[in-house]
Structure 1
């Protein structure tokens, strides 16, 4: 069993997190300790008021929220009663047995786990110290519970989950243990692909529903060069809790990735020309970015297009899964940048305009009644006005030739 303790300043936030999971049918409230009603009879306000009322006994303490998760081995299948007993034993072990707390069972990950929401303010207003709570009381309680309930011991397995040798597939949140799934993808991509920046790494990771995120530019994490990994949903949104880079096997932190950037810069030069050849081979006749993407996929290349809110394309990154290399278009050359690719696609005729029949003679275009071809047949490219003008010109030419013949005959008669 692995226990994680988070302290905070918002009881509402901790409760909302779990209640939102309940609404999504990804969690259920197992028990409510220290409440006058049974768990199933409690409203949201009932749950929150009890916690806030006790936390209000000491308004000087700002950090008054304790949010705990107890995580079990994926092979273990404890039932609801067992989970309640484990939660009670754990809360007693850390000195919270007399506190009000709510126990939720979550089913949104590949391993069984529960969440416990409580406050560290006692009924008399005293504060339960959270300093070294996880290191001391929690660690002892965890070991006792493992022995008492016959659980898989956390110390019996490597703390850092080693990646498995796998064929990369997109991670599906809740289908497997999140940390292990992310570890497998991240390590496999870093080990095999040649990328030279975090955006290029994400161009690969995103295809397997994983994101490496530094946080906002004004965040503390960004300033300290921190890095978190997330599982992404179907719309590219973050749907998992953040996993610290330092907690993943191999520790793919930003500082270590930056060392890979330098090495990969030299390694990917060896395959640059091969990727150019693939693009040059696919570009003619595509007519659009979507057409080019489709053609490139047949050669193992994913073209990741970046566009603004107006739909204007401003960047393209090529991920070659055969060559295991990632290039921004501009790094391949000006003609492979977003503007260069678009210019080439617009300049080159489409495939359907170059089609030939079996005999090798170009097929005639579909026509309509709006105009005529040089042979007198209807041409789809002419307007009705152009058709009338052409007819008038033809009649004028014929009339002119007839008059010239009459003048010649008249001259001949005069000469006679």
Structure 2
């Protein structure tokens, strides 16, 4: 376990950060200690007022908000009860056991971790000394908790190395190399909360890049009829491999109901990012080199846009999806407009190919004309500069006159 302690002069900003994560489905408040009401009866205002009231007991202390993160090894999967107990023991050992504090479990990283919000003003108005708190109290507490709860030890590892695990590695899941549920969960934690998708095919356009697929089953299956959802691992040929795992078996419960709520939110969020994809596609067709959908895939890859082509058995393109990794938005082609749909892209490719062939024919014809003109020019030059033949016919009388003149001269 690794503990990171930060202080601030604004408890509201820290509380906002965690509550926004909750609204986005990336976190959950799992405990409220030393609050007058139970957790399920606390709203944002009641939480904030409790901290403000405590801070008002000593207004001379400006930096009174404390934000702690407790980070666990990626291989660890603890229950809420155990996480709450770990947080409770840790807060007591560093001297904050009687302070009001909130515990949030976050799901937006590749490793389990908690965020704890508290302040350092006690009920008698005295402040808890924060100077060297990490070295004096946090480190000894961390080591004791690792032993008590059987946690993976962080000894010998740098804190930065542990915290850098937050974003999961962007690599594909390989069946058999890691426990399936854990591998799929790592991908879901990244994709479900970072990307903006508004349908199951759009979500799968991203998940498939990590060899994961969300499947409702066939229409006559029990899973489909019960609005269930399965997550599968795909092999290198995009075929399901291994045993599918039910959405409800994952800790975050990424069920169909959960996804449908995300669809509504994301539909609005990604609206302002359409132009990036549109402009990239238009620019790709502008130079007339894109004559097949496959060439479009290669052309806009440099813009951070992954294109998913859906084809029938006879090779006919019937669907197209764009995954923009720069804005983390996913768009079905038709949602961007007719010209960006499968039919629109096919027509653009046909036009470009036709223009390319026409230009090639013009080039060949022009070359032939140039060759003809060159030959004609050479022929004319040859005629103009040809040397007369000295053996041409000379009349007999002229020859005789020449001889006579020569003789008389002699």
TM-score (norm 1): 0.47
Q: Which has the larger radius of gyration?
A: 2
Structure showing the higher helix proportion among its residues = 2
